[in-house]
Chain A
Amino acid sequence: MTHWIPLWLHRLSSPPTFYRFAGAVWPWAMGLALLAGAIGLYGALVLAPPDYQQGDAYRIIFIHVPSAWMSMFIYAVMGVASFVALVWRIKLAEVVAMQSAPIGAAFTFITLVTGSLWGKPMWGTWWTWDARLTSELVLLFLYLGVIGLYHAFEDRRQGARAAGFLAIIGVINVPIVHFSVNWWNTLHQGSTINVFGASKIAADMLWPLLVLTLATKLYYVASLCRRVRTDLLALEGGKDWVRTLAAREAAP
């Protein structure tokens, strides 16, 4: 019944196989991320015309929006990985979830900082208690809570499971927070890019944004691969495959 799933897919959940796989993937992902980032930034900072209303200040959107998308995307990845880890007790899923958290927190922080820099010329203030800003700040606290809980345990696998449970609670909580603060206060502009239906953005501004989004996704993949590789080595320190690996690298 499950013939259509290629055999290598479930083999990837074994730490040594994933270690090799991630080692092969990350240079490509990082290279492509740098390439896409360079092209996207050139398009964003040089080719795209200034906005008729916001002038050149709007260009911060090219960093702000991809980071904001990544902050939510990574949280979703973390939630799904935590769910997989808790239900099927797959060690790799725990590692992926816990190593995603710091990357996601960094993207959330970048979103908040760039948003604040953008808010100063546009709204005349660094910070305002607007719904979207507040939800993003809450997202940062959720990330920090997950990271903090993970490190509070002495046993790392137990910490990963507890923090994963917190991440899943957060998945339920994020829509509630967003809805409640929306009801409370709103100043932020609405969505400009719609997946379904027409976007309210000019094409020569849209393509650098999409290329930079791709660049951040690739960077996340590369960064995650490296982090997971390091963590797997630490977690599986006593196992045979790590010993063989260490012996091979130690030998000239």
Chain B
Amino acid sequence: MNHPRLIHACKAMLWRDLTLAWRRRGDIAMPVLYALIVTMLFPFALGPEDTLLQRIAGGIVLVTVLLAMLLTLDAMFSSDIEDGSLEQLVLSPQPLALLLGMKILAHWLTTALPLIVIAPLLAAMLHLPNAVIPILLLALLLATPLLSLLGAVLVALTAGTRRSGMLLALMLLPLCMPAVIFAAGAVAAAQQGLPWLAPIAWLAAALVLAVVLAPLACAAALRIALDA
């Protein structure tokens, strides 16, 4: 009896968050625009030489996507805290970790996926060789959910505070560093014609670990941040 209810709750959660995001479509476009603008600024600052841009293209795209995601992390729970639906979520009979997992999935679908879709365009703007772009996309597909999951834990921790923008960046930096290193390592290795599977495999392993642990940690963090 309990089992189908759980699936229904998860579905409803995911559907609700996606609907809310769709009602404010303009917000989805913001990170994409931000990433475009940041990527555009690099050639102006560094000069338009192809060789230089080619060498740093992978790293720039990764960091830009990371920063664009960081901008949206702050809003992950804020509207739910304001209207009190987060408290209802904590009180609901379904496991909180699973419902939060759905929220994280919705966040990833609405912010990271559009960024991944325009990533080839960003990479092309910086003259990244076409052969490397699939590796970049693979790295982004593994690294962005990792960032969403880790970011959700930190956002949950700051849920009870008023100002959290800069603090979130400070807290996320140490956590996301390994993801950036491995994702950029894979792209750089592919660019030099070296085997790139090892860093991708490490990223995938980290993602599997985070998929299991991060929702639980997120639920625990939310319980800490909300009980006053």
A residues near B (Cβ < 8 Å) are 86, 138, 141-142, 144-145, 148-149, 152-153, 155, 158, 161-162, 165-166, 169-170, 173, 176-177, 179-181, 183-184
How would you classify the secondary structure of chain A's contact residues: helix, strand, loop or mixed? helix
Q: A141-B170, A141-B173 are in contact. Are A158 and B160 (CB under 8 A)?
A: yes
Q: A145-B171, A153-B161 are in contact. Are A184 and B181 (CB under 8 A)?
A: yes
A-B contact pairs, 28 of them (CB 8 A): A141-B173, A141-B174, A148-B171, A149-B161, A149-B171, A152-B161, A152-B162, A152-B167, A161-B224, A162-B160, A162-B224, A162-B225, A165-B220, A165-B221, A166-B154, A169-B153, A169-B175, A170-B174, A173-B174, A173-B175, A177-B177, A180-B178, A180-B181, A181-B181, A183-B181, A183-B185, A184-B181, A184-B185
Q: Are A158 and B228 in contact (CB under 8 A)?
A: yes
How would you classify the secondary structure of chain B's contact residues: helix, strand, loop or mixed? helix
Docked CA distance A173–B209 (Å): 13
Docked CA distance A104–B66 (Å): 29
Interface mask (B154-166 → A, CB under 8 Å = 1, otherwise 0): 1001101111100
- Closest A residue to B170 by CB, please name it: A145
Q: A149-B157, A152-B163, A166-B157 are in contact. Are A158 and B170 (CB under 8 A)?
A: no
Q: Does B217 contact A (CB under 8 A)?
A: yes
User: Distance (Å) between the CB of A188 and the closest chain B CB?
Assistant: 17
- Closest A residue to B184 by CB, please name it: A184
- Closest B residue to A185 by CB, please name it: B181
Docked CA distance A76–B153 (Å): 21
Interface residues on B, range: 20 to 34
Q: Does B108 contact A (CB under 8 A)?
A: no
Q: Could you say which residues of chain A place their CB within 8 Å of the CB of B83?
A: none
Q: Could you say which residues of chain B place their CB within 8 Å of the CB of A170?
A: 174
Q: A180-B178, A180-B182, A184-B181 are in contact. Are A158 and B224 (CB under 8 A)?
A: yes
- Closest A residue to B159 by CB, please name it: A162
- Closest A residue to B164 by CB, please name it: A152
Q: Are B221 and A162 in contact (CB under 8 A)?
A: yes
Q: Which of A141, A155, A169 contacts B228 (CB 8 A)?
A: A155
Q: Are A180 and B157 in contact (CB under 8 A)?
A: no
Q: Which of B174, B202, B227 contacts A138 (CB 8 A)?
A: B174
Q: Could you say which residues of chain A place their CB within 8 Å of the CB of B175?
A: 169, 173
Docked CA distance A143–B228 (Å): 24
Q: Could you say which residues of chain B place their CB within 8 Å of the CB of A176?
A: 178, 206
Q: Could you say which residues of chain A place their CB within 8 Å of the CB of B154?
A: 166
Docked CA distance A181–B174 (Å): 12
Q: Which of A86, A148, A180 contacts B177 (CB 8 A)?
A: A180
Q: Are A169 and B161 in contact (CB under 8 A)?
A: no
Docked CA distance A33–B220 (Å): 40
Q: Could you say which residues of chain B place their CB within 8 Å of the CB of A162?
A: 157-158, 160, 221, 224-225
